[in-house]
């Protein structure tokens, strides 16, 4: 029997579904979320945009490929993308209850789930 859309739709109780990012039927890795305080002198989440991003794009402290990577990163963040990234290791026992992520094994696209419902993408 051919699978129907409802058989493969993203769902909280499935480890394989049609990825909302790449549209492939793919295995998903489920992740819990932990929290750590924002580490920014202003005490608010860090965003680099506008003039600050232009400054970063010209910052001679970084080699060109590093600058390009940083600018691409901030463009994704500023554009509203949610994705996994390696950052400094943190140690925390602050668990975010009720929030999970699913990550597509095929494209690494990340979905955000609140209360068992996909809210992103
Ligand atoms: Zn995918």
Say whether both 109 and 95 belong to one domain: yes
| CA of residue 114 to ligand 1 center, whole Å | 19
Residues by chain with Cβ below 5 Å of ion ligand 1: 19, 21-22, 104, 106-107, 109
* Domain total of the chain: 2
Say whether both 96 and 111 belong to one domain: yes
pLDDT per residue over 12-67, tens digit each? 999 999 999 999 999 999 999 999 999 888 999 999 999 999 999 999 999 999 99
Say whether both 96 and 112 belong to one domain: yes
Say whether both 79 and 108 belong to one domain: no
Say whether both 31 and 47 belong to one domain: no
pLDDT per residue over 53-109, tens digit each? 999 999 999 999 999 999 999 999 999 999 999 888 999 999 999 999 999 999 999
What is the pTM for the complete model shown? Answer: 0.85
CB 116 within 8 A of CB 12: yes
Domain span at 51: 42-84
Is a pLDDT exceeding 80 seen at residue 5? no
| Rounded Cα distance, 6 and 117, in Å | 15
| CA of residue 96 to ligand 1 center, whole Å | 24
CA distance from start to end of the chain: 29
């Amino acid at each position: 029997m051919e699978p129907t859309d409802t058989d493969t739709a993203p769902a909280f109780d499935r480890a394989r579904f049609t990825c909302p990012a790449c549209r492939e039927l793919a295995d998903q890795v489920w992740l819990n979320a932990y929290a750590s305080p924002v580490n920014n002198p202003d005490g608010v989440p860090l965003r680099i945009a506008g003039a600050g991003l232009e400054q970063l794009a010209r910052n001679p402290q970084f080699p060109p490929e590093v600058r390009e990577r940083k600018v691409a990163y901030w463009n994704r963040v500023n554009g509203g993308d949610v994705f996994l990234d390696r950052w400094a290791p943190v140690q925390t026992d602050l668990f975010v209850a009720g929030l999970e992520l699913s990550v597509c094994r095929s494209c690494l696209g990340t979905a955000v789930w609140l209360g068992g419902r996909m809210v992103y993408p």
